[in-house]
Amino acid sequence: MSLQHIEQRVTIPAHADRTSLGADFPRLANRTVVRFLSRYGILIAFLAIWQVSSRAGWVNAAVLPPIDTIVIALWNGLAGGTLLGDIAISLQRAGLAFAAAVAVAIPLGLFMGQVRAVETALDPILQVFRQTSALALYPVFILLLGLGEASKVFVIFWATLFPLLLNTISGVKQVDPKLLEMARVYGAARLTVFRRVVLPGAVPSIFVGLRLSATTALLLLIASEMIGANKGIGFQVMNAQYNFQIPLMFAAIVILAGLGLIANQALVSLQRRLCRWSDPID
Amino acid sequence: MATTSGGEVTIRDLSKSFTLSGRPLAVLRALNLDIRSGECLVIVGASGSGKTTLLRILAGLEAADSGGVAIDGKPVHGVGAERAVIFQEPRLLPWLTVLGNVAFGLEVRGVPKAEAEDKARFYTALVGLAEFSDAYPRQLSGGMAQRVGIARALTVQPEILLLDEPLGALDAMTKIGMQEELARIWSEENVTMVMVTHDLEEAIYLADRVLILPREKGGTARLVEVELPRPRDRSESRFVRYREELLREFGLH
């Protein structure tokens, strides 16, 4: 057996010897700018067009005020403390409802996913509840619980419960039966199988549910605060509109968007931390 | 770390049938077999001959219709600590590292973590994966993942190692390397090995005896004793003759 020697010619580019930091810096900075623009370019363009068309009078500035006045309204609201109280009460409502949904849906979902009979018995009613809009039920909750905090928290809880519950159930059911059999072969007790195989296997799906629920919680928060509230971000959106404080209205909307982004980002980083094993890239 | 002797398997009048579209289909018919302590028995047979079913009954994952299995004189009901199974797929837990997966079998039996990991480290090295202890399953090749599965089974130091086509999903080159590895592990660990395969060369390379299961009704199981010195040489004339003999059993030569 003989090996053929393959001659390989490597051409070194002419500028390769200029590797000093001074020469590299503009290129490196350039790459960062390109990456930033490819990600945020359209968002920046959107805001710029808004700003310009509002200032130039292409759109009615009373309805779509320029970005800078919105920023000023946001700053005044936060620094003056009027919006801080709204944020606090809104976070309390959404947080309480979300925490209650987590406390109910995850244990119940883990149980329902494990016990076929329970799942079969509860599935039809769950499907009916899930398909009934929580907003349509809000008047019912108001009749039952009054127009105070209880009905607001409950309608958010109701709407956040189902995405989390159904994703937890499907997470448990999707655990590979071959892994369960493997654990059984090693003599793992039922509880051990649950703790060591079922639970970690269901975590990614539970996180899908958590993220859906967090989004839903903010959505329902606003809807519930638009009816019979005198504080809260959702109330502030409606109230500012009634009083024609349009920059303040947009400031409240910006806060909402910010809360949504923060909640999602928090859950994404928590998931990264817990599910390092499933990350496709290190 | 050799296991104690033991691991003698007695199979008596073992029958099992499945229901296939409403009609019973017998896969094992009154099988009798004694597997000696420390031997390597390889089961071959055409698909549908019941070789995997036999292994799953030995593992305690399926129950026989009639007859039964005893290990060291004690009848088998369900899974047991003296047996470990290596499946065709590695069946690793993706959220555990290589070391965590190898230690899994001991940990679920309540062995303290430190002790389990000590043993796991030994067997991870034995299958040549010491450097990959902290890797996650998704970072491993098929052959490496299967080694982890093998190390996990060895870590519980079973008397009987049951292997269900463990190399069936590997490419030809990796497979030959792994067969050599299994032969080495078997000789070092003093364990009774029962393995299902559809690869006749693999059977001759590893087996003390080859059990050939019949496919057609009324056929009888046959045992072929492989009297070749170890380590075995695949190109040797006697090896080739065994291969021809087995092929004849399947009507292919």
Question: Which of A182, A192, A207, A282 is the mutation pick for testing B, counting most B CBs within 10 A?
Answer: A182
State how far the Cα of B150 lies from the Cα of B127, in Å rounded to an integer: 8
Higher-confidence residue of A15 and B239: namely B239
Q: Are residues A196 and A259 in the same domain?
A: yes
Beta strands B160-164 and B192-196 are parallel
Domain that holds residue B111: 93-157
Q: Are residues A87 and A207 in the same domain?
A: yes
What ipTM was predicted for this assembly?
0.90
The verdict on a CB contact (< 8 Å) between B79 and A192 is no
Report residues of chain B scoring pLDDT below 70. Answer: 1-5, 217-218, 253
Phi and psi dihedrals of B209, rounded to 5? -135, 145
Give the global pTM.
0.82
Confidence at residue A282, expressed as pLDDT on a 0 to 100 scale: 37
Instruction: Tell me which chain A residues have a C-beta less than 8 angstroms from the C-beta of B93.
Output: 179, 196-197, 200
Interface of A with B in 225-244 (CB under 8 A): none
Residue A8 lies in a domain: no
Residue B87 lies in a domain: no
Distance of CA A42 to the CA centre of its chain: 21
- Express each pLDDT in B96-115 by its tens digit: 999 999 999 999 999 999 99
- Express each pLDDT in A229-256 by its tens digit: 889 999 999 999 999 999 999 999 999 9
Q: Are residues A42 and A108 in the same domain?
A: no
Q: Are residues B121 and B132 in the same domain?
A: yes
The CA angle B74-B80-B84, to the nearest 5 degrees, is: 120
State how far the Cα of B174 lies from the Cα of B194, in Å rounded to an integer: 21
The verdict on a CB contact (< 8 Å) between A278 and B108 is no
- Express each pLDDT in A89-116 by its tens digit: 999 999 999 999 999 999 999 999 999 8
Highest-confidence range of A69-83, A93-107, A258-272, by mean pLDDT? Answer: A93-107
Residue B88 lies in a domain: no
CATH code assigned at A75: 1.10.3720.10
- Express each pLDDT in A20-31 by its tens digit: 555 667 777 888
- Express each pLDDT in A164-194 by its tens digit: 999 999 999 999 999 999 999 999 999 999 9
Residue A164 lies in a domain: yes
Q: Are residues A133 and A184 in the same domain?
A: yes
State how far the Cα of B232 lies from the Cα of B229, in Å rounded to an integer: 6
Mean pLDDT of chain A: 88
State how far the Cα of A37 lies from the Cα of B47, in Å rounded to an integer: 59
The verdict on a CB contact (< 8 Å) between B94 and A186 is no
Instruction: Tell me which chain A residues have a C-beta less than 8 angstroms from the C-beta of B83.
Output: 185
- pLDDT band for position A155 (cuts 50, 70, 90): very high
* A186 and chain B in contact, CB less than 8 A: yes
Q: Are residues A160 and A265 in the same domain?
A: yes
Domain-terminating residue out of B121, B139, B157 = B157
Domain-terminating residue out of B157, B175, B207 = B157
Domain that holds residue A83: 70-278
- Express each pLDDT in A191-238 by its tens digit: 999 999 999 999 999 999 999 999 999 999 999 998 888 899 999 999
- Number of domain units in chain B: 2
- 3-state class of A131 per DSSP? helix
Instruction: Tell me which chain B residues have a C-beta less than 8 angstroms from the C-beta of A192.
Output: 108
Residue A65 lies in a domain: no
Side by side, the strands of the sheet bearing B40-45 are: B83-86, B160-164, B192-196, B40-45, B209-213, B222-225
